[in-house]
A and B are shown apart, each in its own frame.
Chain A
Amino acid sequence: MATVPACECRGKARAVLAALGILAVAPPVLAHEVLHEVQRGRAVAVHAWIHDGEDLANAQAEVFSPADGSIPYWSGRTDRSGWLAFVPDVPGRWRVRIVDSTGHGLDTAIEVAAPGTGGVASETAPETAPSGLTAAAVLLRPLVGVVLIAVVFGLLYLRRRRPGP
């Protein structure tokens, strides 16, 4: 029967002790594990585009909480389709600013109701519709503008043509 040398036994014992030591310090290391959860319908998504339909893509964007209007709650860039999204943590009037490098952009407010009053989608129902112009309005826009200008100049013309006292 073969015998195990004493030095080999001591080596195995050290290895076991080392493994136990690593396990002993492992819990603090595990505390840095990044966990995640997925919640549907919590975020507010904002889509920005120019009136001809071109998305305001990759534009600088900031979101300001109603709790602090000076420091952005969120900042970043719109995606390539002109969207940004943020998760509001308090109800109220949130401010969204989007600025592209050519000076185009928007500065608008979005009402967010308190949680538990129907979900973000219904809370922000007025904002889910395009806040700018619909496709039909884009086509009508020049026509409406022409009519308004015709009214202004027409009234001015009639006023000037009216015989004086």
Chain B
Amino acid sequence: MHIPDGFLSPTVTVPAWGAAAPLWYWAVRRNFGASATESLPVVGALTAIAFVVQSIMIPVPGGTSAHLTGVAILAFLYNPGVAFVCESLVLLLQALFFGAGGFTVLGVNALAMGLVGPGVAWLVFRALRPLWPRVAAFAGAYAGIQVATLSVALVLGLQNRLASDYMPVPFAVMLPAMMVPSLTVVGIVEGLYTVATLSLLRRARLLDAP
């Protein structure tokens, strides 16, 4: 799902950095201050697990593969701002040390996979939790990854319209190629992973997991 360096023009990457930078500042100030000290070990562990699950490729029909994000759970347990910062850290490490994604596209990837996706996941989770807590976690995680994938596809499609020499694949080709695996496989696995992790946290009494 990561957009690599060189696939987006500065027309897209610079505004994305411009939007992401103040949000990073705000989210770090709000969620990682002195009052958050006791939650740091759990947040760090869940961030590390998110890194691991993003390294595991899931084969999907059609001969391609995809991966989970694993950050919706951070939005459920804390808030979308925590998920945004943690996913941004994962993306930064992947870009700097592993050649996945990239630094110029970090703003776009972070906004799509770290903010929009977990934000929608959190909204769905909050809306459904009073009625069906477990369904809420599954539905939230499922919706979150769909929106994140759709956001990435929209950005790449926009880039194709703006300058196809950066992104030669048109939106009409890319949308089904990205969304079909996401809707049929990745979303379901992401939902199951999120429900299972919340259940484990509850049983381990690590925190008051919802």
B4, A146: Cβ atoms closer than 8 Å: no
Please tell me which one of the listed residues B32, B48, B156, B173 contacts residue A149 in the complex, with CB atoms under 8 A apart: B48
The interface centre, meaning the residue of B32, B36, B63, B98 with most chain A CB atoms within 10 A of its CB, is: B98
Q: Does A121 contact B (CB under 8 A)?
A: no
Q: Does B43 contact A (CB under 8 A)?
A: yes
CA of A99 to CA of B40, assembled, Å: 38
CA of A152 to CA of B43, assembled, Å: 11
State the majority secondary structure of interface residues on A.
mixed
A101, B169: Cβ atoms closer than 8 Å: yes
A52, B1: Cβ atoms closer than 8 Å: no
B64, A51: Cβ atoms closer than 8 Å: no
Q: Does A106 contact B (CB under 8 A)?
A: yes
Please tell me which one of the listed residues B7, B57, B94, B181 contacts residue A107 in the complex, with CB atoms under 8 A apart: B7
Q: Does A156 contact B (CB under 8 A)?
A: yes
CB neighbors of A among B43-60 (8 A): 43-44, 47-48, 51-52, 55-57
Q: Contacts A52-B65, A148-B97, A160-B40 given; indicate if A142 touches B51 (C-beta within 8 A).
A: yes
Q: How far is the CB of B151 from chain A (nearest CB, A)?
A: 11
Range for the number of chain B residues in contact with chain A: 35 or more
Q: Does B128 contact A (CB under 8 A)?
A: no
Please tell me which one of the listed residues A103, A153, A160 contacts residue B47 in the complex, with CB atoms under 8 A apart: A153
Please tell me which one of the listed residues B41, B57, B165 contacts residue A52 in the complex, with CB atoms under 8 A apart: B57
* Stretch with Cβ within 8 A of B (4 or more), from A15-23, A38-46, A54-62: A54-62
Given A142-B55, A149-B89, A153-B41, list of 12 further CB < 8 A pairs?
A52-B57, A99-B168, A100-B64, A103-B3, A103-B7, A104-B2, A107-B4, A107-B5, A107-B7, A145-B97, A146-B52, A156-B40
A contacts, CB < 8 Å to B: 50-52, 54, 57, 60, 62, 70, 97, 99-107, 132-133, 141-142, 144-146, 148-150, 152-154, 156-157, 160-161
* 28 A-B contacts (beta carbon < 8 Å): A50-B57, A51-B55, A52-B56, A52-B65, A54-B64, A99-B167, A99-B168, A101-B177, A101-B178, A102-B174, A102-B177, A103-B1, A103-B156, A103-B178, A106-B6, A132-B99, A142-B52, A142-B55, A145-B51, A145-B98, A150-B44, A152-B44, A153-B47, A154-B44, A156-B32, A157-B40, A160-B36, A160-B37
B contacts, CB < 8 Å to A: 1-7, 32, 34, 36-37, 40-41, 43-44, 47-48, 51-52, 55-57, 63-66, 89-90, 93-94, 97-100, 152-153, 156, 165, 167-169, 173-174, 177-178, 181
